[in-house]
Amino acid sequence: MALVAGCGAGEGEEPPADSPMAARAPDAAAEGLDRAAVLGSFLDAHWQLPVPAQGPPPEGWSEAEASLDPQVCGACHPKQHAEWETSLHAGAWSPGFAGQLVEGGLADPDARASCMTCHAPLTEQLADAELRAQGIVCAGCHVRTHEHRGPPRRSELPPAADPLPHGGFTPREEFQQARFCATCHQFFHDAGVNGKAVENTFAEWQASPFAEPGPDQRDCQDCHMPDRAHLWRGIHDPEMVRSGVEASLEPAGAGLSGERLEARLVLRSTAVGHAFPSYVTPRVFLELWQADAAGAEIAETREAFTVARILDFGSHPWEEIQDTRILPGGAATLDYARPRAPGAAALKGRVRVDPDFHYRSVFAALKDSYTTEEARGLMRDAHRRTLQSPYALYELNLPLQ
d(CA 95, CA 396): 36
pLDDT at 3: 43
CATH superfamily of 238-399: Immunoglobulins (2.60.40.10)
Tell me the backbone φ, ψ of residue 78, rounded to 5 degrees.
-65, -35
Percent of the chain with pLDDT over 70: 92
Percent of the chain with pLDDT over 90: 85
d(CA 290, CA 301): 6
Tell me the backbone φ, ψ of residue 148, rounded to 5 degrees.
-90, 135
Cα-based distances in Å from 28 to 24, 115, 188, 250, 317: 7, 18, 11, 43, 9
Reference 117, options 56, 39, 183, 68; nearest CA is: 183
Confidence at 20, pLDDT banded by 50, 70, 90: very low
Q: Compute the average pLDDT of residues 271-277.
A: 98
pLDDT at 31: 61
- Tens of pLDDT, residue by residue over 36-52, are 999 999 999 999 999 99
For the cut 60, the answer to whether the pLDDT of residue 16 exceeds it is no
Q: Which residues of 225-263 are buried (b: 16+ CB within 10 A; e: fewer)?
A: beeeebbbbbbebeebbeebbebebebbeeebeeeebbb
Q: 331-339 and 260-269 as β-strands: parallel, antiparallel, unpaired? A: antiparallel
Length of the chain: 401
Q: How is the chain split into domains, by residue range?
A: 238-399
Tell me the backbone φ, ψ of residue 233, rounded to 5 degrees.
-65, 145
Q: Compute the average pLDDT of residues 329-335.
A: 98
Residue 356, burial from CB neighbour count under 10 angstroms (0-12, 13-18, 19+): buried
Tell me the backbone φ, ψ of residue 2, rounded to 5 degrees.
-95, 145
Reference 352, options 228, 186, 241; nearest CA is: 241
For the cut 80, the answer to whether the pLDDT of residue 24 exceeds it is no
Reference 305, options 278, 323, 287; nearest CA is: 287
Q: Compute the average pLDDT of residues 257-279.
A: 97
Reference 270, options 331, 225, 218; nearest CA is: 331
The average confidence (pLDDT) of the chain is: 92
Reference 381, options 357, 401, 364, 397; nearest CA is: 364
Q: Compute the average pLDDT of residues 67-91.
A: 98
Q: Do 376 and 363 meet the contact criterion of CB atoms below 8 Å apart?
A: no
- Tens of pLDDT, residue by residue over 84-141, are 999 999 999 999 999 999 998 899 998 998 899 999 999 999 999 999 999 999 999 9
Amino acid at 286: L
- Tens of pLDDT, residue by residue over 162-221, are 889 999 999 999 999 999 999 999 999 878 999 999 999 999 999 999 999 999 999 999
